[in-house]
Amino acid sequence: MIWTRLSGFYERCGASGLPELERLANTVSASWPEILTFIQTGITNAGSEGTNRVIKTVARDAYGFRNPVSQRLRTRCATTRKGRGFLEAA
């Protein structure tokens, strides 16, 4: 059933003549193994992607630090549960 719907999606995107839909179909096609894995297992890498985003944001904010240890500490504090307010301070 999913293959029927997927091929229909590709056909409609190709027949539309819209470059945006053609790019969408190419993106879905390129990412299909990952999409299918999610459909079958329900497992994603959203947690690690979110943590990576926080690390990059904090690293940009801490770019001017002269001490790399301080920059690493700031990144670690931002990505731990305690640093994000999930755990009570003991």
Q: Which domain holds residue 32?
A: 2-41
* Tens-digit pLDDT profile for residues 36-74: 999 999 998 888 898 888 888 887 776 676 777 877 777
Residue 22 in any domain: the answer is yes
How many residues would you count in the chain? 90
Confidence (pLDDT) at 87: 45
89 contacts 77 by C-beta, under 8 angstroms: no
Q: Return the H-helix or E-strand segment holding 78.
A: helix 68-79
| Tokens representing residue 42 in the block | 């329900």
Residue 85 in any domain: the answer is no
**pTM for this structure?**
0.53
**Which own/partner pairs from 41-49 qualify as long-range (CB within 8 Å, at least 24 positions apart)?**
none
Domain count, the chain: 2
Instruction: Flag whether pLDDT at 90 surpasses 50.
Output: no
d(CA 7, CA 9): 5
Average pLDDT (1-6) is: 89
